[in-house]
Structure 1
């Protein structure tokens, strides 16, 4: 897949063309047995050819990597994942293994990973749940149960509490409206409910009102609500959320608003945050790069440079090192830069 038109509920504008950085081999060039052989050769004998491993993983898309993984086992009688674990280490090993996970498997893994360590990684959970479609969320829940013999909603409830828990539980239902038509009267009513539940209240904010509207309403409807809110209140809805809420609840609601307004800008911000401040959040960085490499990472990188006056690649060079850095950089370059034959960007 070289990119895709993303429907309005999952993108900034209807029929916006999103371009990934990993294109994969065309049907006539793809040979899973040959690719599996290259990986075997890279790990056989003394020393490991990390450069060759990077080339194979980035020349192929996720679907092709699954075929390569299967072919490797049938040809060599050993598991590719286990062989990589035996040869590699650190973030480079993790990133290679992540690239061999199917998309929803990877989402489920990242959610579990964010909750199993000392201290829940709230931003990792928000990044996924805010941006996945209803169908993708249902698939994630199914895979999560199969992989971990646990219920995603119950695990979330055991990790977080209060209003933040209610936001995440609402998102995990995967019940956002996909209605594309916007009724002005309904949007106005929601705008008034949100205003009266926040700034319009004298004492306490009614987070349930924000939750109901931001978690369940369609993307076009929410854009209209935000537009009306600014006209009515004289400021963006983000200002109300910042003024009325705090902590992870505030972060979750702001993430929903930012995603609804401009997904590419939202993901650029997430990437920036993963490398900003004290130390790099490598798990979040890998989660974002892997998840978007075949969908819209080229577009996100372009927005990133406009927003932060430095390229995504430059920040990766400054914040990472070694083969891990090399693989990240290869994943964030366009297909043309990767030298994948015949993979030119399609026009919309």
Structure 2
């Protein structure tokens, strides 16, 4: 593996807040996108201005800056750009770029919660709903992230996220999405084996043991318990039933509710594996699911892309980098490869 630009092995930062000094960024080693050394927001702003000034656009210069900065650094560049030139960087980029390349760059320029809110709104806008995008975001984020997504959604669209979910979805799937958007999952609770056994028994009685399925019982447990507690529930379920919880969900449920429940199970067991599968599915076969590919790349590059790449290799016997190279092209490919530490 080789690193391009300012990406180098070492520490990286993963988003807990919007960016900048007081918003709860913490150092982690799990992202491929790491802070640029000797970062200078003013210099970067000047380079971007030059790249977009006059006839034609220097896409390479834009990629070399924005694909190799953390979200926190990009927010500083955005602020400095407006300070220096009296222009909004996102609007300037939108007027200069196009296609999937533009979609990636604009996604990178939003804060994590703004991008999630934007993707949720897009998923529910117009005719038809992108339930997969809703499930991916709402079933994989922490309570704190969900809280910030709700705030960003309200600020950006003058509407409560929950209200849009209720008007756009139905049935048991609607209940699951409302539960997820509430951000009330118990976190950091000590594992209670007695409760795990009784919850596993309740799931058994609500599913396999009866005619029909009591979906609300599944919702109660899957939406409220911590990841650690759910692992204990799943283990207890296997002991009681002799079957894996994932197989049970597949046989007891269907449609978007099934996909949502399975997403929770996958995130509980192996979140990087869940996202590796999302990336694989977005690129395999004819055509590319660009929205999913872009969303996962933008939201995970600073968080756990190192593990996602490892899981991808393990699960599919091919590197994520090679998959990307074979599937997309041009500036779109260059920016994605930069973000995952592959260079171009």
Shared fold (TM-score, shorter chain, > 0.5): yes
Matched, 1:177 2:201: no
Q: Is the 8 A contact 1:22 1:294 kept in 2?
A: yes
Deviations along 1:32-71, one digit per CA (max 9) or x if unpaired, are 1100011011111221111110000022111111111111
For residues 280-299 of structure 1, what are the structure 2 equivalents within 5 Å?
Answer: 280-299=288-307
- The reply to whether residue 54 of structure 1 matches residue 63 of structure 2 is yes
- Give distance in 1, aligned partners of 2:286 and 2:130: 15
Map of 2:19 onto structure 1: none
User: What is residue 12 of structure 2 aligned with on the other side?
Assistant: 2
Candidates 195, 198, 209, aligned match of 1:200: 209
Specify the alignment match of 1:308 in structure 2: 316
> 1:242 maps to which residue?
250
- Which has the higher relative contact order, 1 or 2, with Cα contacts under 8 A spaced 6 or more apart? 1
Aligned to 2:340: 332
In structure 2, runs of 5+ residues without a counterpart are: 1-10, 17-27
Does the CA contact (< 8 Å) of 1:3 and 1:296 recur in 2?
no
Distance 1:18 1:30 in 2: 19
Instruction: Select the residue among 121, 133, 139 that pairs with 1:130.
Output: 139
Query: Aligned equivalents of 2:286 and 2:216: distance in 1?
Result: 34
Unaligned runs of 5+ residues in structure 1 are 7-16, 339-348
**Which residue, 68, 74, 80 being the options, matches 2:77?**
68
State the partner residue of 1:187.
Answer: 196
2:91 and 2:227 mapped to 1: Cα distance?
42
1:83 aligns with 2:92: yes
CA displacement at 1:232 relative to structure 2: 1.5
Q: TM-score, normalised by structure 1?
A: 0.89
Determine if contact 1:58/1:330 at 8 Å carries over to the other structure. yes
**Contact 2:35-2:73 at 8 Å conserved across structures:** yes
Cα distance, 1:207 vs structure 2: 0.3
Report deviation, 1:110: 0.8
Q: 2:125 aligns with which of 106, 116, 126?
A: 116
CA contact (8 A) 1:316 1:329 kept: yes
1:43 counterpart residue number: 52
1:3 Cα offset (Å)? 4.8
